[in-house]
Amino acid sequence: MRFAAERRSKIKFPVDTLVFFAFEEENKPLGPWTGIDIQIQSKVAAAAKNEAFKAKEKQTLVFYPPDGKPARRVLVAGLGKRGRFDGERLRRGAAAVAGRVKANGSGQIDVVLPVEEQVSLDPREQAQSVAEGLGLALYEFRSYRSKPSEENGPLESARVVVDSEKHLAAAAEGVRRAEAYCRATCLTRDLVNEPPSRCTPRYLAAAAKGLSKRGVSVRVFDEKQIRKMEMGGLIGVSLGSVEPPRFVHLTYRSPGAKRTIALVGKGITFDSGGLCLKPADGMLHMKNDMAGAATVLGVMSVVSELKPKVNLHGIFGATENMPGGGAYKMRDVLRAKNGKTMEIVNTDAEGRVILSDALSYASELKPEEIIDVATLTGACVVALGTEITGLFSPDPDLAAALQTAARAAGEKLWPMPIDEDYRDLIKSDVADMKNSGGRNAGAITASLFLKEFVAEGIRWAHLDIAGPGLAESNQPYRPAGGTGVMVRTILRYLEAR
């Protein structure tokens, strides 16, 4: 869909659908449009009373002015309590609008930003929140449906509307950023939602090559080159599959770069557990095990238009983890690219094994920071559930900056400990380390394992998205399926550097 920002004075009334926001129990459309408020305020109050509308979160109210002015239809979305207002409340309010519009049908909507002195969020953030809420809520993955949607026609365009010229430029910038953020998130969702027999390592590599037209350079390494680079972890995990592995390196260079950051993703395109075979229920969502690599591709797809002042490397290894005749075995010892050895005590702890090579490769590029994103551990899901990403970092400043970005994006990110006292749990008698420390402190020992492959002096953070990487049911602006979680957080983080 298309987004735009416009001044009220430039809009020709009446319009099709006019959208306002309101705080709980105030029932007054927010915005500086005094003239229109006078026309519809009493009608809103009457309709609210009839419909028991109290402007709570997720509540919407629709009514049709009898004279069709200033719109054929007026929609009011609740924001909840005024004291809790922030960008996420506005994003969720816009998502509720999207749901109502889908049900009622509308080709275009005009959304009045709640710009007023009592609302602290600036017009740029308001516009971005509204556009993100609409765009992400309307996402659908329909590539494999045999019949067209039976719902009303799609919403084609939305304008965020302000009253003054001083707010227009900020609103337009917010809309521009939201469009990029939504496209990046939806690309990640699309990749995660593809069936695993289609979204293979070669498919992900081809998707990466497609970004070469978007201002990034792309290098793809095949299995022979991976062996030559001595990536023992990636080669070892790939042995049980007939699908060959791939290793991908994308690069964006900024003329005004202040630092270099490497973004590393886990790319297991299907995880059967290997010889430590998962039960059927445990395998059901394992096409999602490449969500970290999909996050890298989503972010890299829009950096050239957002132009953050960083040089950015996007890196991932991609393979299946299958129990074929040549599969790597329990008690095998693999050697990662940085020379460290790993004793395999669980073939279903394969994500960290392929990340050992990706983190080693990233370290050789000598970035100031490495951020890895991975659907890494069931232990993190036990600890934080399906809504919260686990954040592991020995650098408190990096962790704090990522949390700030996550709050602005409306994504939940929780700091977890990396306690060196648990290192003995991954101690091996025959190699430098084991690839699993067992059930206890499983997310922590996994992060300690990854830390072994980050070179000294590089700031590092690990984001475990095993819980929120895929949603089993619809949530506000996040339909069931791949979520694209952390794409917008990482983009905000990069833009703030």
Check 202, 209, 219, 278 and give the catalytic one. Answer: 278
pTM of the complete model:
0.96
Residue 408 clears pLDDT 70, i.e. is over it: yes
- Mean pLDDT across 36-45: 65
| Range 25-29, long-range pairs (CB < 8 A, 24+ positions) | 25/54, 25/55, 26/55, 26/82, 27/53, 27/54, 27/55, 29/76, 29/112
For residue 37, the model assigns a pLDDT of 54
Confirm whether 307 is a catalytic residue: no
Residue 441 clears pLDDT 60, i.e. is over it: yes
- Sketch out the chain's domains with CATH numbers: 2-179 (3.40.220.10), 194-496 (3.40.630.10)
Phi and psi (nearest 5°) for 108?
A: -145, 145
Contact 353, 266 (CB under 8 A): no
Confirm whether 253 is a catalytic residue: no
Q: How far apart are CA 264 and CA 318, in angstroms?
A: 12
Residue 399 clears pLDDT 70, i.e. is over it: yes
Nearest one of 207, 368, 412, 203 to 296, comparing CA atoms: 207
Question: What is the pLDDT confidence band of residue 391, given thresholds at 50, 70 and 90?
Answer: very high
Residue 366 clears pLDDT 70, i.e. is over it: yes
Q: How far apart are CA 191 and CA 291, in angstroms?
A: 8
When the pLDDT of each residue in the chain is averaged and rounded to a whole number, the result is: 93
Phi and psi (nearest 5°) for 61?
A: -135, 130
Sequence length of the chain is 497
Q: In the numeric block, which tokens belong to residue 133?
A: 């809420």
pLDDT digits (tens, 9 = 90+) for 317-350: 999 999 999 999 999 999 999 999 999 999 999 9
Q: How far apart are CA 3 and CA 13, in angstroms?
A: 19
Nearest one of 424, 432, 246, 223 to 333, comparing CA atoms: 432
Residue 33 clears pLDDT 60, i.e. is over it: no
Phi and psi (nearest 5°) for 488?
A: -70, -35
* All residues at 6 or more sequence positions from 240 whose CB lies less than 8 Å from its CB, including other chains: 274, 275, 320, 321, 322, 323, 324, 325, 326, 327, 328
Check 102, 287, 337, 352 and give the catalytic one. Answer: 352
